Amino acid sequence: MEDYNKIIESLGVRFIKARHIRMQQAIRIKNFYDIENSLLILYDGEVSFGEDGIRAEPGDMLFIPGGKALSITYGSSENPKSISNEEFLTFRERYFDSRRDPAEIGKIPHSFGLVAFEAKVFDSVNFFTSLDVPPFLIKGEESLTHALKEILAEDFRDEAGRGRIIKIKTEEIVINIIRYILKHRLFVEQLATNSTYFKDPRLIDIFTYIKDNIGGDLSNKVLANVANVSEDYVGQYFKMLTGINPQDYIEYQRMEAAVNLLRTSKKSIRAIGAEVGYKDTAYFCRRFKMMFGIPAGKMRRRESLMNL
């Protein structure tokens, strides 16, 4: 337990967004994907996920770790409209009606609440993604239900201390998700295997260097010098501890940084690609769409519409 306490203490948690959604029609998104962790609570209606169509009951929460693609159905699973992630993101308002009245939370037919957040160890590594845990249901956790509702209500108001309360409650959500995993002994093998690499200082040095130099030279030769291991060994060393090769990890970090820039800046697609390490804009755009199922330009327009 001491190891998990150290990891929790090292976590940097950041609130991304909160939504209260009324589902307007039944849809199945075949390849839903986002970089953010999200916690969804079903208030009324139907939500199911995965190839086996695991169904949430009203009051259940669905946790989706960032970077995990999955099939998800909103509304009745009997005859939903099947769409791609790109179509969903492009025409989101056709399927979802976003509500912002705190008094309506949990009282609208066919509705759910959602909070999206970032949780990074040493401000570098996506914690839940690194553990390779799949999406899963959380049942009977009143503290999580209450914290999620408070975040939704605070985000919909404009009152003093709003940001501070949301920050505290988002950290509370992350801790309670970890507690739920440990309490119910979920993903025991993944936790035992993957959490150990947070103890390796050389690996943490690599994570930190990648974060601080995301647009620069991140070849295996450079990483080998950072970790003080041989160039021939650094790829094997990184994969042995994390389960992925370093260049795949770097690409994910670069794409995550690109998404953040699309959301927070007015820089051109070319400038964003270059800033995160892609000299060839066309290649950057191809890789972006391959990872997220939507062109970078559409991602920006989607975020602009969502923040109106």
pLDDT at 124: 75
As a whole number of angstroms, the distance between CA 113 and CA 202 comes to 40
pTM of the predicted structure, to 2 decimals: 0.84
- For the chain (308 residues), the mean pLDDT of every run of 10, in chain order, is 73 94 96 91 97 95 92 94 89 93 96 95 80 90 95 94 96 94 84 68 90 95 95 92 87 92 91 96 94 83 52
| Listed residue (124, 128, 137, 125) closest to 49, CA to CA | 137
Residues 36/66, Cβ–Cβ less than 8 Å: yes
Residues 214/220, Cβ–Cβ less than 8 Å: no
As a whole number of angstroms, the distance between CA 271 and CA 49 comes to 37
Where do runs of H (alpha helix) occur along 158-219?
Answer: 162-183, 188-194, 201-212
| Listed residue (166, 144, 146, 141) closest to 154, CA to CA | 166
Sequence-distant (≥ 6) Cβ neighbours of residue 122 within 8 angstroms: 10, 12, 198, 204, 207, 208
pLDDT at 244: 84
As a whole number of angstroms, the distance between CA 121 and CA 100 comes to 32
pLDDT at 240: 83
pLDDT at 305: 45
In our burial notation (b when 16+ CB lie closer than 10 A, e otherwise), range 137-147 reads bbeebeebbeb
Which residues share a beta bridge with 118?
Answer: 14
Indicate the pairing of strand 61-64 with strand 136-138.
antiparallel
